[in-house]
Structure 1
């Protein structure tokens, strides 16, 4: 039922009011007595939020509704209101036909594997603790969640200059970002600011292909940086002052380099570029690799020496602030860097970049293929990382063989410091996959 990013799927097929009702019942039955509830801009969100709230109330849970807000705003509100959990109705960067539910702890971290499995088991088995007629939960409204989030962002950054910034909200729930940047003294231009769950301005996922309008706006104006969010604003990506999209691994390296000090660690997934390792090495820091998925990155940031976590999807976590990927905070952090150390193109240029090869192979039994690859590679290499797929590091690079979480494919990634070595590592990995298939 749960993926690494919660529950997601087509509305009316995989994601229904009945499912939302069951999740609400399960969460309250599992002992979460007070739950913050919010949603993104999708039209189906209102229906699903009502169903979740009904399920929570039915099993004695109280609901604190914050309405349409960015996911990190809702996640931060859990501790703000002394609640036990948070639920966001969102499909994040997925198309408008989809919706979903993501569950949050008071630390700002999404529910972990054990918590998710406990909820999923109750749903499967119909194991609900219904409240007596006079002990059902209550629904109440909270209207200051965004104000609290904005205040925390303002406290987390210091911007002495007044840079010009363009923000593409993608018709999503990230209105807090231009408001906070304006409060910080920036001159802000906004694209696709009207909230619309059909995402008419551009697809919800922000990437180089979907941000052409933002790139043009930045290139043709005095904007020093362009910021873009996905539908629920947990992700943040950027274009530099020339209108050039900043590669996400490079953005991760830029953030990590500024966050890290001697002896610190940065959490990043197994498919993260060597550029991040090299970026933090000068500061005496190292990278600790996690499974792919921001929930796993967030979990690793609970270690005392991990000062920052990032995933090249555009999820950035400063654990001293929150363990929820916080797109508005990341936007303010990036503008702070540009104001103090920019231009952004120079920060990008200062990050070493290496040749990387990626390919996907359709297979009948992806998990069996990866298991076979693991056994074969253990015969050839002394150290094989099986934390998420099969990853092998060499002196000059690395390669990863990993089953897709959503498709019947095995993905092969290889990176090295030279083109020739990247080709060699990719061919080695692809060859083992071919033999295993």
Structure 2
């Protein structure tokens, strides 16, 4: 089971069961000061029983539950702003047999100070039993106000991936004026996995070949991957296009994760904006956004654009609409061409988790002698030149160390990754 600020996740029936759900949701109740909590789930088969169990734990503690049913994660985050708290029953892009809980306070995900209160036992006494009612969301209408109506009617292909974006992404795109073809609408018979950043998206590539663009969502609808001209784009392109739209709207202050493409940062600065970097992770980006009152940003590696005025989470569905509103414009082609001149590779190597820190320290020592600038905000990031970098980070959940690199030269990027993985493995042998 994984217990982080991104949520609690596990294989349902093995390391995550209903007893766990009762415990964590009971503990979460201590953080719900409004006495109200909205709840929703993605399309995983175990979702309904987990949602019902979570609702029962909340109501036992006197909290009124507002049930959205099967909805994308961004919809629960949006409604949680109104009710004060929220729970998403989902494990995002993990395999179908997984499930989990994402906790929301005041429209944002929980932070490092709040996580222990959910994990550790809390004694809660309530003089009343909470109520439960089903509700609908104004999400599509709210998103339309941000995007506006399109002058043209672009043809768009949407790969739902059998997830919760069904009923939201196609409807939003149609409401602003797109002509939409839907693929993999239902989980049963879906031809791809739950994570569009990892899947080849062959069906969407084929379907979008005669369309202006293709969009692929993960199971809970917060990740978005773009397919353009028969080619799956890197997740960073999703963020880059969202950033371009933000600049068009007049936004200037951005926060990006440390592993986001340098092309996104350059595009922002070339257009008069400022950039702050954070540790990898949606929650880390959002915390910095709140602290610095940033207007937009996100995490390139997960295809996650974040617009704080609308939601404190990755916004796959809203972003698909924002990107569609740019189709055919000079700005759209400009940012896409600019980003396609950079190459990113994200790889990993097997390293015993107990030795992660020692390996990272040894790598840091070696890179400090090789590169003029080394950043230790999250792992070790070596700045090779103005267009090339490499990032070495330990995994918090697996016996692996991740190696990410970028360059405006594809062969150079491949060589950087190859050399760095060899360096990591050498360090591993030395500290064993």
TM-score, structure 2 normalization: 0.89
Matches within 5 A, 1:385-424: 385-396=375-386, 397-418=388-409, 422=413
1:37, CA displacement in angstroms? 0.9
1:357, CA displacement in angstroms? 4.9
Distance 1:414 1:45 in 2: 37
| Alignment length (residue pairs) | 419
Equivalent residue in structure 2 for 1:167, among 158, 163, 176: 158
Distance 1:378 1:117 in 2: 36
- Supply the RMSD in Å over aligned alpha carbons: 2.5
1:374, CA displacement in angstroms? 3.2
Report Cα offsets for 1:89-143 as digits up to 9, x if no partner: 0111111111110011223x21111112221123xxxx221324xx12222221x
CA 225–382 in structure 1, closer or farther in 2 if over 3 Å, else same: closer
Report Cα offsets for 1:43-86 as digits up to 9, x if no partner: 21111111111111222222111111111111101123xx2210
Q: Does 1:25 align with 2:17?
A: no
SS of 1:2's partner is strand
1:12, CA displacement in angstroms? 0.6
Distance 1:393 1:4 in 2: 29
CA 305–294 in structure 1, closer or farther in 2 if over 3 Å, else same: closer
Q: Does 1:110 align with 2:109?
A: yes
1:378, CA displacement in angstroms? 4.9
SS of 1:334's partner is helix
Q: Does 1:204 align with 2:206?
A: no
Asked if 1 retains the 8 angstrom alpha-carbon contact of 2:238 and 2:305, the reply is no
Matches within 5 A, 1:173-188: 173-174=164-165, 175-188=167-180
Distance 1:17 1:382 in 2: 52
Matches within 5 A, 1:250-399: 250-260=237-247, 264-302=252-290, 303-341=292-330, 347-351=335-339, 353-364=341-352, 365-378=355-368, 383-396=373-386, 397-399=388-390
Question: Which is further off, 300-309 or 38-47?
Answer: 300-309
Report Cα offsets for 1:198-249 as digits up to 9, x if no partner: 5633211114744111111111x4x211111111111111111x22212222
What does residue 46 of structure 1 align with?
A: 48
What does residue 129 of structure 1 align with?
A: 124
SS of 2:142's partner is helix
What does residue 72 of structure 2 align with?
A: 70
Asked if 1 retains the 8 angstrom alpha-carbon contact of 2:200 and 2:232, the reply is no
1:358, CA displacement in angstroms? 4.5
Distance 1:309 1:433 in 2: 28
SS of 1:202's partner is coil
1:179, CA displacement in angstroms? 0.8
Q: Does 1:153 align with 2:143?
A: yes
CA 358–96 in structure 1, closer or farther in 2 if over 3 Å, else same: closer
Asked if 1 retains the 8 angstrom alpha-carbon contact of 2:163 and 2:218, the reply is yes
CA 391–331 in structure 1, closer or farther in 2 if over 3 Å, else same: same
Gaps of 5+ in 2: none
Question: Which is further off, 311-320 or 352-361?
Answer: 352-361
Asked if 2 retains the 8 angstrom alpha-carbon contact of 1:38 and 1:74, the reply is yes
Question: Which is further off, 202-211 or 61-70?
Answer: 202-211
SS of 1:338's partner is coil
Question: Which is further off, 243-252 or 70-79?
Answer: 243-252
Distance 1:179 1:356 in 2: 33
What does residue 228 of structure 1 align with?
A: 216
Distance 2:170 2:102 in 1: 25
Q: Does 1:12 align with 2:13?
A: yes
Asked if 2 retains the 8 angstrom alpha-carbon contact of 1:254 and 1:351, the reply is no
Distance 1:280 1:88 in 2: 32
Distance 2:31 2:363 in 1: 39
SS of 1:38's partner is strand
1:284, CA displacement in angstroms? 2.2
What does residue 132 of structure 2 align with?
A: 139
Report Cα offsets for 1:147-177 as digits up to 9, x if no partner: x100111101131111111111111111211
Question: Which is further off, 299-308 or 170-179?
Answer: 299-308
1:431, CA displacement in angstroms? 5.5
TM-score, structure 1 normalization: 0.88
Report Cα offsets for 1:372-422 as digits up to 9, x if no partner: 333554566675322211112243422211112322111223333446764
